[in-house]
Amino acid sequence: MKTIELLKFLQNKIGGELDYVAAAGTDRWKVEIPRLLVEIQDEHVRFEIKNKTELFINVYTVPSHFLKIYHENFATKLLDKVHLHSEIKIGDEEFDDKYVIEFATPEIARKTMTAEFKACILNLEPFKIFQMTKRDYTLLKDINKHYDVDNAVNDIEHMVKIVKICSNVWR
């Protein structure tokens, strides 16, 4: 499915507005591939495809803390063995073996990583990076021609669910 078709089908399914204007400071320009801006469960969500293969989903709610999750690889596992990696372990052997967690204290990471949160992360697979930044929750994925509207709806729903889980944990 072509990028613009996916965005239009997604818009038909969940609503929102296609935004063809990018901005940086006071500069504005038209983009070839629009972003889908949508409100879901009172959360502002941006669904954006770059280079036809990279997907960004941003939920514009300010997280209570920073957190980054990405996949373990040969290098991170090697650094773990020689104790040169700042990765956080949460005490869940399966999760710790699969993912690298960074940018939070171990206590905050453990409190955030509820069973429900971890299930959402697993449901976002395959992904490159999930992070909680100073302004939003962000998911970065590599997508292929088999990525469809149902995949997109699933990803958006799980991102919004993560925001709700975090807001409940950090009340």
Element (H, E) at 37: strand 27-40
- Tokens 């280079």 belong to 51
Q: Which residues constitute the domain of residue 65?
A: 3-169
What's the one-letter identity of residue 147? Y
Report whether the peptide linkage leading into residue 126 is cis, meaning its omega lies within 30 degrees of zero.
yes
If we measure between CA atoms, which residue out of 145, 138, 119, 165 comes closest to residue 48? Answer: 138
pLDDT value of residue 170: 80
If we measure between CA atoms, which residue out of 138, 124, 98 comes closest to residue 89? Answer: 98
Three-state DSSP state, 80: helix
If we measure between CA atoms, which residue out of 111, 110, 86 comes closest to residue 100? Answer: 86
Distance (Å, whole) CA 127 – CA 68? 12
Q: What is the CATH number of the domain that holds 55?
A: 3.30.1460
Burial of 137 by CB count in 10 Å (0-12 exposed, 13-18 middle, 19+ buried)? buried
pLDDT value of residue 52: 86
Domain count within the chain: 1
pLDDT value of residue 32: 87
Distance (Å, whole) CA 166 – CA 119? 13
pLDDT value of residue 88: 85
Prediction pTM value:
0.90
Query: Are the beta carbons of 69 and 100 closer than 8 angstroms?
Result: yes
Could you say which DSSP state residue 41 is in?
T
Averaged in consecutive runs of 10 residues, what is the pLDDT profile of the chain (171 residues)?
A: 88 96 90 94 95 94 95 71 72 92 92 96 97 97 92 97 93 75
Query: Are the beta carbons of 45 and 37 closer than 8 angstroms?
Result: yes
What's the one-letter identity of residue 86? S
